[in-house]
A and B are shown apart, each in its own frame.
Chain A
Amino acid sequence: MKVLAVDDDRVCRTALQAMTTSLGHECVVASNGREAWQLLRAGGIDVLISDRNMPDIDGMQLVVLLRAEAASYVYAILATGLDDPLQVQEGMLAGADDYLTKPIRFEDLRHRLIAAERVTGLHRRLEGLNMELRAVARKDPLTELGNRRSLHEDLDVLSVRVSHHGHRYALARYDLDHFADFNDRYGQAVGDRALRTFAGILAATCQTGGDTAYRYAADQFVTIHTEVGTDGAVTVAGRVRAGLTAAAIVHAGAPPPGLLTASVGVAQMTAEQPDPAEAMRQVDAALYHAKSMGRDRVEVALPPVRLLGTSS
């Protein structure tokens, strides 16, 4: 573990560092609360052992700050020279996990660090599982693309970047043409295979441009394109549709040559229009227009909506 030892007294600080190191842990030191807080904010500290009474920011305040603002869990031990149960209770209520009475004895420290190692280990495992859970919650299990939830979360983040930093993003919404009929004709398993194939084409195309693809609904997908206007998204859509043509997924219900095709609507988020919900409405309108114009094409949402791409 990495331990931060904080004490305004050099002898106590030096001895604590030596004891912690000899117990097999890395130990960094700080001589006051401000220095300690800077080290804690930089991250990577597993355990804080702080003197309770220090000038400026004392151990209690440090623990309060830690619990209010630290990104990950730091096991906190308050060291006090006062044999005062009330002070110990105050420290524990403020967020300390344990306490040590000064002068700190080697065996006491050893025992506290055994508990600290167990608890920090559990916290790290929990943090790892939370990250995995979050990743799973954001992923579509069939295609392994981001799902609708992750799309909306990402759009909210991008909206802030657009509003505050002047970035711009283009959105494209894809819909596989006559896909309900495809499923009826060939069955769910073949339909799922077609969806995975199309998702693979989307992912591969987006990966080369640093863009992101999501499965939005059953046979609908959305892509986000960074720092481009609608033209950039239209170019990518052309490559995706070419890839789908090359995959040559037979669809007897489609117009000649009888292959699975996609319709695409494109819109953008700019400083003038940073609202992600409005961008999704525009991209939906453009997609609807592409469908109404005969499918297998790309439409861009611009007021007024105008036709850009045609059947290839």
Chain B
Amino acid sequence: MPTLHPPGYDLDQAVPGPASAADVPAQALPEPAIASAPAIDTSVLDALISDLGDAGPAMRPLLWESYLEDGTPLVARLCAAAARGDSEGVRSVAHQLKSSSALLGVLPLSALLQRAEDAARAGSSSLIPEADAVAVEYRRVVAAIAILTATAIPTATAIPTATAIPTATP
């Protein structure tokens, strides 16, 4: 099992300021196949923006802003649910974030969320690996969005990985 992060690990520390997404350490990513893919397939959102016509351009920053504002606490909730062994909590959060990720072209993260959702539905004994993978990939997404939008990354609340959260059952 990969990981990983000592207690108190601050997710924000893994997201460099104006750096590229490639700066995220590859060894932190549990799935090399996913890690090698771009965090965001920009053609997906480009197509949607184009479909929207005149209203499209204004939607792009709005959608990314909403995604980050809602995504950060959702990932935190997912990790917390995994840490306490709450498979239903993991399933519902993964399901919600999966749809918006796919909509915006955040495809590797969407795939990891699908995996977490499937594992939760299958009654997996520990969902911590899946949650950690989501948290790590989400950091890569945040960095990629910062580059895409050419804006500073919002000071997000630190997102502890599931591993970093003390668990009820060892």
Query: Which residues of chain A have a CB within 8 Å of any CB of chain B?
Result: 8-12, 14-15, 18-19, 21-22, 51, 53, 55, 81, 102-104, 106-107
CA A14 to CA B70, docked complex, whole Å: 13
**Interface residues of B, CB < 8 Å — how many?**
24
Q: Are A9 and B51 in touch, CB under 8 angstroms?
A: no
Q: Is B104 an interface residue (CB 8 A)?
A: yes
State how many angstroms separate the Cβ of B51 from the closest Cβ of chain A: 4
Q: Is B156 an interface residue (CB 8 A)?
A: no
Contacting residues, chain A, for B47 (C-beta < 8 A): 106
Contacting residues, chain A, for B36 (C-beta < 8 A): none
Contacting residues, chain A, for B51 (C-beta < 8 A): 19, 22, 106-107
Instruction: Please judge, given known A-B contacts A22-B51, A22-B52, A106-B48, whether A81 and B95 are in contact too, CB under 8 Å.
Output: yes
CA A222 to CA B110, docked complex, whole Å: 71
Interface SS majority for chain A: helix
CA A22 to CA B103, docked complex, whole Å: 17
Contacting residues, chain A, for B103 (C-beta < 8 A): 11-12, 15, 102-104
Q: Are A12 and B99 in touch, CB under 8 angstroms?
A: yes
Contacting residues, chain B, for A19 (C-beta < 8 A): 48, 51-52
Q: Is B148 an interface residue (CB 8 A)?
A: no
State how many angstroms separate the Cβ of B142 from the closest Cβ of chain A: 15
Contacting residues, chain B, for A107 (C-beta < 8 A): 51
CA A64 to CA B52, docked complex, whole Å: 32
* Given A11-B67, A104-B103, 18 new contacts (CB under 8 A): A9-B100, A12-B99, A12-B100, A14-B62, A14-B66, A15-B59, A15-B103, A18-B56, A19-B48, A21-B55, A22-B51, A22-B53, A22-B56, A55-B92, A102-B99, A102-B103, A103-B99, A107-B51
B window 37-73: CB within 8 A of A: 47-48, 51-53, 55-56, 59, 62-63, 66-67, 69-70
State how many angstroms separate the Cβ of A238 from the closest Cβ of chain B: 68
Report 10 cross-chain contacts, Cβ distance below 8 Å, ordered by A residue: A10-B69, A11-B66, A11-B70, A12-B99, A18-B55, A19-B48, A22-B51, A53-B95, A102-B102, A104-B103
CA A102 to CA B117, docked complex, whole Å: 15
Instruction: Give the number of A-B contacts (CB < 8 Å).
Output: 62
CA A104 to CA B102, docked complex, whole Å: 9
Partner of A22, one of B55, B92, B96: B55
Q: Are A15 and B63 in touch, CB under 8 angstroms?
A: yes
Q: Is B98 an interface residue (CB 8 A)?
A: yes
Q: Are A9 and B96 in touch, CB under 8 angstroms?
A: yes
Instruction: Please judge, given known A-B contacts A15-B103, A81-B99, A102-B103, whether A9 and B70 are in contact too, CB under 8 Å.
Output: yes
Partner of B70, one of A10, A81, A102: A10
Partner of B96, one of A8, A15, A104: A8
Closest to A103 in B: B103
B window 76-108: CB within 8 A of A: 92, 95-100, 102-104
Most chain B CB atoms below 10 A, which of A9, A11, A51, A106: A11
Partner of A15, one of B48, B69, B95, B97: B48
Contacting residues, chain A, for B52 (C-beta < 8 A): 18-19, 22, 106
CA A18 to CA B55, docked complex, whole Å: 8
Closest to A106 in B: B51
Closest to B74 in A: A9
Instruction: Please judge, given known A-B contacts A55-B92, A81-B95, whether A11 and B55 are in contact too, CB under 8 Å.
Output: no
State how many angstroms separate the Cβ of B18 from the closest Cβ of chain A: 25
Closest to B113 in A: A81
CA A104 to CA B47, docked complex, whole Å: 12
CA A61 to CA B84, docked complex, whole Å: 30
Closest to B100 in A: A11
Most chain A CB atoms below 10 A, which of B47, B53, B92, B99: B99
CA A11 to CA B104, docked complex, whole Å: 9
Contacting residues, chain A, for B102 (C-beta < 8 A): 81, 102-103
Contacting residues, chain A, for B97 (C-beta < 8 A): 9
Instruction: Please judge, given known A-B contacts A81-B99, A102-B99, A102-B102, whether A11 and B48 are in contact too, CB under 8 Å.
Output: no
